């Protein structure tokens, strides 16, 4: 059953689960996925927490306690989400220890309403790191323009970071630059660089969704032939950029000081178009030193019928460049696409967070004790 997942791990791809809920923790399901499906990390986001907490499964007692204490809805959400992340981090601790800190990681995101504000993002990242208080946590910071200096500052403080919502190659290079600048700050402050980790979450399926919609509108045979090619091309060229940056002289100095590379993480790897194979963004993005964070359906599909045939990224750069160039020639603006996706990504997480605020507030009211 898990041969494909084992082969994926053997190729140097860390398998992380893109989901978390209290039920998954308490039922033993997370431990089972680690034990049987080669899962070595967990990512969360506001949408995942909104879905988990709104289901109410396993949260009622804590919400009742929080209601009795009359905490604000924001504080309640942070208490609930950090409790889940702390418990998941404890379950993953043996993986963290066995991999020398590389895997066994759980990510938790700063409030998405802060995406365009640098100083509050830094403050929130510090607060989350303190609240969860586990060495195997990654604080998620969005790769917006305001997020970049926050990444540098937070890494400089020795806090490990998962940079999220990366869509463009240019922004990805800026993210790697922000990471290196943060390591340089940490080094100047005398921190142990070997303890700082980071991943850069490069989003995949959403690129195809947006570009394929535009190709469909053009409607020519040439346009239709390019459907399903943009996301892979974009991600593969991101890996090329990663190879360049982490073989530079600037990196060599940090490497010598004990720093760790910032691994590319393939995010949004669930296939949205039923015309594509459901394991497309797993099988065609196999490269050493990467992470693939999968929704459970994609994890199960890969275990069931995935075909892992070795490295499917290196050696594809010319073809990837040609695919993006062909899309550009049809009048589809790459810059416009990636900006739309970044804006939408921030908006979606903000909407999920607002939904979470509303549903948690309703639960706090419902479970509040009568006075006396």
User: Cα–Cα distance between 113 and 347 in angstroms, integer?
Assistant: 9
4: its two tokens = 């494909």
Q: How many distinct structural domains can be found in the chain?
A: 1
Residue 303 in this model has a pLDDT that exceeds 70: yes
Does 137 fall in a domain? yes
Mind telling me the catalytic residues? Answer: 140
Residue 372 pLDDT class (50, 70, 90 cuts):
low
Closest by CA to 46, choosing from 123, 114, 130, is 114
Average pLDDT over the chain, rounded to an integer: 96
Output DSSP code: residue 26: H
Does 371 fall in a domain? no
Q: Indicate the angle between helix axes 73-98 and 334-367, nearest 10 degrees.
A: 110
Q: Per residue in 61-96, pLDDT tens?
A: 999 999 999 999 999 999 999 999 999 999 999 999
Does 135 fall in a domain? yes
Structure confidence at residue 57 (pLDDT): 85
Cβ atoms within 10 Å of 250's Cβ, excluding its own:
14
Does 90 fall in a domain? yes
Is pTM beyond 0.85? Reply is yes
CB 20 within 8 A of CB 89: no
Residue 228 in this model has a pLDDT that exceeds 90: yes
Q: Per residue in 196-210, pLDDT tens?
A: 999 999 999 999 999
Q: Indicate the angle between helix axes 317-329 and 230-245, nearest 10 degrees.
A: 130
Residue 51 pLDDT class (50, 70, 90 cuts):
confident
Q: Indicate the angle between helix axes 73-98 and 60-68, nearest 10 degrees.
A: 130
Does 83 fall in a domain? yes
Does 372 fall in a domain? no
Q: Per residue in 318-346, pLDDT tens?
A: 999 999 999 999 999 999 999 999 999 99
Does 197 fall in a domain? yes
Structure confidence at residue 1 (pLDDT): 46
DSSP one-letter string for 244-255: HHTTSHHHHHHH
Q: Per residue in 88-146, pLDDT tens?
A: 999 999 999 999 999 999 999 999 999 999 999 999 999 999 999 999 999 999 999 99
**Domain, as residue range, for 296:** 4-366
Does 287 fall in a domain? yes
**CATH number of the domain bearing residue 235:** 3.20.20.70
């Amino acid at each position: 059953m898990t041969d494909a997942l084992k082969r994926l791990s053997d190729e140097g791809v860390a398998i992380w689960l893109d989901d978390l809920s209290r039920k998954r923790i308490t039922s033993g399901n997370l431990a089972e996925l680690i034990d049987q499906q080669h899962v070595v990390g967990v990512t969360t986001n506001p949408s995942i927490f909104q879905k988990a907490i709104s289901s109410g499964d396993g949260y009622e007692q804590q919400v009742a306690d929080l209601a009795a204490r009359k905490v604000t809805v924001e504080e309640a959400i942070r208490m609930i989400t950090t409790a889940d992340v702390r418990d998941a981090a404890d379950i993953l601790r043996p993986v963290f220890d066995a991999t020398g800190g590389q895997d066994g990681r759980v990510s938790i995101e700063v409030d998405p309403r802060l995406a365009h504000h640098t100083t509050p993002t830094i403050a929130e990242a510090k607060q989350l790191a303190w609240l969860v208080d586990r060495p195997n946590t990654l604080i998620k910071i969005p790769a917006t323009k305001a997020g970049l200096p926050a990444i540098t500052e937070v890494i400089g403080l020795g806090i490990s970071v998962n940079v999220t919502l990366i869509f463009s190659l240019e922004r990805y290079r800026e993210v790697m630059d922000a990471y290196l600048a943060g390591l340089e700050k940490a080094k100047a402050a005398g921190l142990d660089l070997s303890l700082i980790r980071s991943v850069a979450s490069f989003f995949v399926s959403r690129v195809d969704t947006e570009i394929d919609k535009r190709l469909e509108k053009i409607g020519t045979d040439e346009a239709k032939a390019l459907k399903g090619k943009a996301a892979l091309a974009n991600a593969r060229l991101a890996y090329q950029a990663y190879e360049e940056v982490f073989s530079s002289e600037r990196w060599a100095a940090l490497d010598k000081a004990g720093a760790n590379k910032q691994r590319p993480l393939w995010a949004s790897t669930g296939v949205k178009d039923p015309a594509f194979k459901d394991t497309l963004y797993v099988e065609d993005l196999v490269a050493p030193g990467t992470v693939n964070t999968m929704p459970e359906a994609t994890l199960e599909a890969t275990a069931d019928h995935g075909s892992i045939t070795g490295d499917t990224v290196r050696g594809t750069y010319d073809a990837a460049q040609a695919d993006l160039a062909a899309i550009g020639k049809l009048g589809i603006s790459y810059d416009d696409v990636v900006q739309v996706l970044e804006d939408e990504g921030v908006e979606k997480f903000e909407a999920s967070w607002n939904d979470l605020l509303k549903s948690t507030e309703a639960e706090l009211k419902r479970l509040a004790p009568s006075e006396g």
